[in-house]
Structure 1
Amino acid sequence: MKIDFEKYTDGLVPAIIQDDTTGKVLMLGFMNEAAVAKTQESQKVTFFSRSKNRLWTKGEESGNFLLLKDIRVDCDNDTLLIKATPQGPTCHTGADTCWNEKNDSDNFLLQLEQIIADRKNNPSDKSYTSSLFAKGINKIAQKVGEEAVEIVIEAKDDNKDLFLGEAADLLFHYLILLQAKDFSLQDVIEVLKQRHSAAVK
C-alpha cells in the first residue's frame, strides 16, 4: 500500500471511516504516516488531530474506539478508506455517525443479529431470546434441532405458510446459536466464500 503523504503540504491525507458490518460512513478524519502506523500497530483507528496538533486515537477519552478491520488507498494514492467496527457512537455529539444517521444496515438479517446480540448482552426478563441465553448452550442447541425437525416435516407437505414459518423459526434460532458461540452470520459466509473459491480454482 503506497500512500502519497507528500501530495498535500501538511502531510495529511483524508481518511473515510466506514462500518465494516453495515457499510455506513461514520466519519472523516486525517492521517499522516505516524497515524497510519499507530492504527496498524494498535488496531484502533488513530488520526492526526489538527486542533490538538498530535496523534489522537478515536475513543481515547470516551471509550468509543474504532477497531480496525481493513485499510485501503484510492486510485490516486491520496485518500484512505478505513473499515472498522465502532465500539459505541462515533460522533462527539453521541450520534452513531457524524452525519447524524443511525448506523443500521439495510440488510434485515444484520439488524436482527444486532438485536439478538443486545438481548444477550443486555438481558430482559420479558425477552424470549434473553431467556434462551440464560438457559445455556444446550437448550439453544436443542431448540435449533427441534426447529430443524419441524421444517423437514413441513417440507413434505404443500402448506406454504407453515413451511415459511418453520424456516423463519429455524433461521432465528440458528442466529441465536451463532451468537451463543460468539460467531456471526458473516463468519459462516466467509467459510462459504472460501469453499467457493477453492471449488472454482
Structure 2
Amino acid sequence: MSNPSMIHALMALIAERKANPPAERSYVVSLIQSGDAKILGKIAEETAEVIEAAAEPGEEGRAHLVKEAADLIFHALVLLGRHDVAWGDVEAELARRFGISGIVEKESRASK
C-alpha cells in the first residue's frame, strides 16, 4: 500500500515498537510492556473523557470530542497490537456486519 491510512500506519508503528523497542523512551512500548491492565485503564479513562466531551457545546466541544475520540482509538489500537490482532481483522468483522441491522446482529450473538 503506497499511501496507508492513519490506522494502518499506527498499527504498523505499534507492531514495530512491539517487535523492536527503540532505545529512546516510547509511550507505545511502555503501554505494551505494562500489560493489559494499564492499557485497559487508559481505555476506560479515555472513554469517560469522550463521554464528557460529547456533552460540551459548540465548536470547542466538537474539537474536544475529536481529540478524546482519537485518544480512545489510539489506546484501542495499542491493545489490538499487544494481542497481535491485525487491523484487517477488525475491518473484516465490520465488513461482515455491514448492511446487517445492528439489532439483528446483536441478537444473533446473544443466541450463541
Q: TM-score range by the shorter chain?
A: 0.7 to 0.9
Higher relative contact order (CA 8 A, sep 6+): 2
- Does structure 1 residue 107 correspond to structure 2 residue 5? yes
Q: Which residue of 1 is the match for residue 69 of structure 2?
A: 167
Task: Give aligned pairs, total.
Answer: 97
Q: Which residue of 2 is the match for residue 194 of structure 1?
A: 96
Structure with the larger helix share: 2
Q: Matches of 1:153 and 1:179 in 2, distance apart? A: 27
TM-score with structure 2 setting the length: 0.77
Q: Which residue of 1 is the match for residue 86 of structure 2?
A: 184
Out of 44, 47, 54, which is 1:155 matched to?
A: 54
Following TM superposition, by how much is the alpha carbon of 1:151 offset from its aligned partner in structure 2, in angstroms?
0.4
* Runs of 4+ more than 3 Å apart: none
Percent same amino acid among aligned pairs? 35
Deviations 1:134-162 (A, max 9, x none): 10111111111111111011101121221
Counterpart contact for 1:147–1:166, Cα < 8 Å: yes
Q: Which residue of 1 is the match for residue 17 of structure 2?
A: 119
Q: Which amino acid aligns with 2:25?
A: K
Following TM superposition, by how much is the alpha carbon of 1:189 offset from its aligned partner in structure 2, in angstroms?
1.2
TM-score with structure 1 setting the length: 0.45
Counterpart contact for 1:178–1:184, Cα < 8 Å: yes
RMSD after superposition: 1.7
Q: What pairs up with 1:37-48 in 2 under 5 angstroms?
A: none
- Does structure 1 residue 138 correspond to structure 2 residue 37? yes
Q: Which amino acid aligns with 2:77?
A: L
Q: Matches of 1:112 and 1:138 in 2, distance apart? A: 21
Q: Matches of 2:65 and 2:54 in 1, distance apart? A: 6
- The structure whose Rg is larger is 1
Q: Is there any run of 5+ residues in structure 1 with no aligned partner, and where?
A: 1-21, 23-103
Q: Is there any run of 5+ residues in structure 2 with no aligned partner, and where?
A: 102-112
